[in-house]
Amino acid sequence: MEGRLLCVAIGYLFGCVLTADIVARVKIHRSAADIGTGNPGMANIMEQLGFKAGIVTLLGDIGKTVLMFLTVRAVCPGLGTLAVAYGGFGTILGHNFPFWRKFKGGMGVAVTCSVIVLISPVWGMAANLLGGVTVLIFHYLATAAVLIPGAFIAPAFIFYGREVGWLAVVWTALMAYEHSPGLIRMTKGTEKPVDIIGKIKKNNKK
């Protein structure tokens, strides 16, 4: 149990590094909390600061998740995949609820997607691909954010055991919580669809 808690703690510290805030401060000397929606994530940064800034934010969020992966595997090699699963859980918590930002962070989509790929490259990529196709077809980000970890639940239980499976359930619940406003608006028919291709073309001109 101590090893699992250590992995969660390590992951949390990595998660608390919000790439979006770093990018915003370097580019415009302001916090990500002070621009657009205030969300320290790729979508807000791309909308406000341009395509390249958004990509840097995405790569940073993926990068910190990879660093978590390397660290927990080195610190707790005996746990194997469980080290990554618990470390990933901590990273998601840190990104979504950073202590230094009064526990108001991002939505954790990039981090969650990265965690499941690091646990299972094949099934993780399949879940991410499913989510990406869903966005392109239906144009709703909230559904894809919940669908990606949700699609990983069954493979997690089957191939990696109950602990990883239940962690996948928790990640899915966190995504549903973070995106609940959008999901509620979808049920009411007031959620605006997002044209991802059009948004990329528009922001690439900035």
pLDDT tens profile 66-121: 999 999 999 999 999 999 999 999 999 999 999 999 999 999 999 999 999 999 99
Distance of CA 78 to the CA centre of its chain: 26
Domain that holds residue 142: 2-204
Here the tokens at position 106 are 């991002």
Torsion of CA 49, 134, 112, 179, to 10 degrees: 70
Whether 34 and 103 have beta carbons less than 8 Å apart is answered as no
pLDDT tops 50 at residue 151: yes
pLDDT tops 80 at residue 191: no
The pLDDT-based confidence of 203 (bands split at 50, 70, 90) is low
The pLDDT-based confidence of 122 (bands split at 50, 70, 90) is very high
pLDDT tops 70 at residue 193: yes
pLDDT tens profile 17-73: 999 999 999 999 999 989 988 889 888 898 889 889 999 999 999 999 999 999 999
How many distinct structural domains can be found in the chain? 1
State the Cα–Cα distance between residues 112 and 161, nearest whole angstrom: 19
Here the tokens at position 176 are 């549903």
pLDDT tens profile 156-172: 999 999 999 999 999 99
State which H helix or E strand residue 46 sits in.
helix 42-49
Per-residue pLDDT, averaged over 130-146, amounts to 86
Q: Which of 99, 91, 39, 96 is nearest to 65 (CA)?
A: 91
Here the tokens at position 160 are 């990696």
State the Cα–Cα distance between residues 66 and 91, nearest whole angstrom: 10
- The pTM (predicted TM-score) of the whole model is 0.90
pLDDT tops 70 at residue 205: no
State the Cα–Cα distance between residues 133 and 136, nearest whole angstrom: 5
